[in-house]
Amino acid sequence: MRSGALIAALALLMIVVAASLAAFDPRAFSGHMSVHMALVAVIAPLFACGISGTRLDPTISWGPGAAILLSFVEFVVVWIWHVPVMRDLAELSVSMRLLEHATFLAAGALLWLACLGAGAQVERGLAGAVALLMTSMHMTLLGVLLTMSPRPLFGGDDVSCLGVTMTASQDQQVGGIIMLLVGAVVYLAGGVALVARFLGAPPMQPRKGIEL
């Protein structure tokens, strides 16, 4: 199970990075969003499933507040890289694009690790659920803003993604929909699953005091 998740994560990571560099037009926002949602909502949780609770898990000894903090870290990473000037840098420079991918994957993997570890320990489960639900909320907000924006925020020229030519507005709307259908839904499902695990766990027994 663990080795299968790691192998799948590594294979998908190589495919996604290669596609971002060779197959997708760097100006295509829909391609950019597809790559990032694959990183944070598919590859990151697979990595987390593969190493959660092992000696490779850096979050294994972290407290329940770690999941909430890492949710905020991912919020910062996601929103900063969607500032138009940062998008321009990622479009023009391969090294900046790889840095962008690396920060998305690192933030996503650490968050999923903290949340999965929280799910394995009942007393920390609720914090992990809250962190994933908060992440789903801010991804939903960004996806709606991108989809409903009256004008394109990232360039104005027509772009081509996998052979389909779109206007800048259409491209941005497709990217926003991808974020809603993949990112927001996956994080919501993860949060709901942790809530269900938390509610279904047996109640903790109170610790007995020292008898004199």
What is the CA 31 to chain-centroid distance, rounded? Answer: 16
3-state secondary structure at position 206: coil
Q: Evaluate whether residue 204 is within a structural domain.
A: no
Q: Evaluate whether residue 210 is within a structural domain.
A: no
Q: Evaluate whether residue 33 is within a structural domain.
A: yes
What the block records as the tokens of 206 is 């109170």
Q: Evaluate whether residue 211 is within a structural domain.
A: no
Model pLDDT for residues 24-79, shown as the tens digit of each residue: 777 888 888 999 999 999 999 999 988 987 888 888 888 778 899 999 999 999 99
What the block records as the tokens of 42 is 């598919």
Cα gap 20→208, rounded to integer Å = 57
Instruction: Point out which residues pair with 159 in neighbouring strands.
Output: 166
**CA–CA distance from 171 to each of 50, 80, 157, 167 (Å)?**
34, 20, 10, 6
Q: Evaluate whether residue 212 is within a structural domain.
A: no
**CA–CA distance from 158 to each of 119, 121, 180, 191 (Å)?**
45, 50, 23, 37
Count up the domains in the chain and report the number: 1
**In the predicted model, what is the mean pLDDT of residues 146-169?**
83
3-state secondary structure at position 164: strand
Residue closest to 194 by CA, chosen among 120, 93, 110 = 120
- CA trace torsion 18, 24, 27, 30 (10° rounding): -110
Q: Which domain holds residue 80?
A: 2-46+62-199
Instruction: Point out which residues pair with 173 in neighbouring strands.
Output: none
Model pLDDT for residues 124-157, shown as the tens digit of each residue: 678 889 999 999 999 999 999 999 988 888 877 7
